[in-house]
Structure 1
């Protein structure tokens, strides 16, 4: 698949978010970082993304809440959920919410790319 995809990265951990955006950009993807789901929602009016990568656990709106809100707005943009937690039922919650993938931090960038590419292909 071509790498001319636009990816939104939403994570409250500034250093992780910046590193992930930089890694995606170095691989030829367009990537924008957002500190919260609210920041993302407030800025998506003028920009279209092929995929959203979001942390599940953040202050304010969680990644799962964001998925519900986007679905309610009719969005079909695939979402990859990431987390540092190891809750036993998290994978089931992510699948039930319609997440394309659930990755646990730390993860390999190639695993994220596989999730993004697979999600965008449908």
Structure 2
């Protein structure tokens, strides 16, 4: 029986960033789904199967930080990588709890993102199963 591929969800209102990140994750052998808003991700039928969330902090409507808080409030513990092009005021993101496994400033390297995703998957496998 084949093992299921980890599911990486990408939430970013920047279409080119979203598509590039999804393409990278798929090229590395992960399942990847991309969403243009936090609200779209919250409606995702496979939300509970998500192994890692990569989300932009600054988005119209619900921010990445608000999305993380909403997931915690819903009892969903999804290892999360926060990304931002505006790092100045985001020190508060570091205090969000153990589910936040990475914080990357755009532009970041593919390797940095991969390191964060691997850390998220390692953490998720410790707590699940």
Task: Give the TM-score normalised by structure 2.
Answer: 0.85
SS in 1 for 2:16: helix
Specify the alignment match of 1:83 in structure 2: 84
Specify the alignment match of 1:121 in structure 2: 122
Aligned pair count reads 118
Matched, 1:25 2:26: yes
Instruction: Tell me the distance in 2 between the aligned counterparts of 1:113 and 1:26.
Output: 12
| Structure 1 stretches of 4+ moved >3 Å | none
Instruction: Tell me the distance in 2 between the aligned counterparts of 1:17 and 1:23.
Output: 10
Give the CA RMSD over aligned residues: 1.6
Unaligned runs of 5+ in 1: none
SS in 1 for 2:108: coil
Unaligned runs of 5+ in 2: 124-129
Instruction: Tell me the distance in 1 between the aligned counterparts of 2:54 and 2:33.
Output: 10
Specify the alignment match of 1:41 in structure 2: 42
How many angstroms does 1:3 deviate by? 9.2
Specify the alignment match of 2:127 in structure 1: none
SS in 1 for 2:18: helix
Task: Give the TM-score normalised by structure 1.
Answer: 0.90
Specify the alignment match of 2:126 in structure 1: none
Is the Cα contact below 8 Å between 1:3 and 1:28 reproduced in 2? no
Matched, 1:95 2:94: yes
Specify the alignment match of 1:12 in structure 2: 13
- Structure 1 residues 112 and 118, CA gap change in structure 2 (3 angstroms): same
Matched, 1:53 2:54: yes
SS in 2 for 1:100: strand
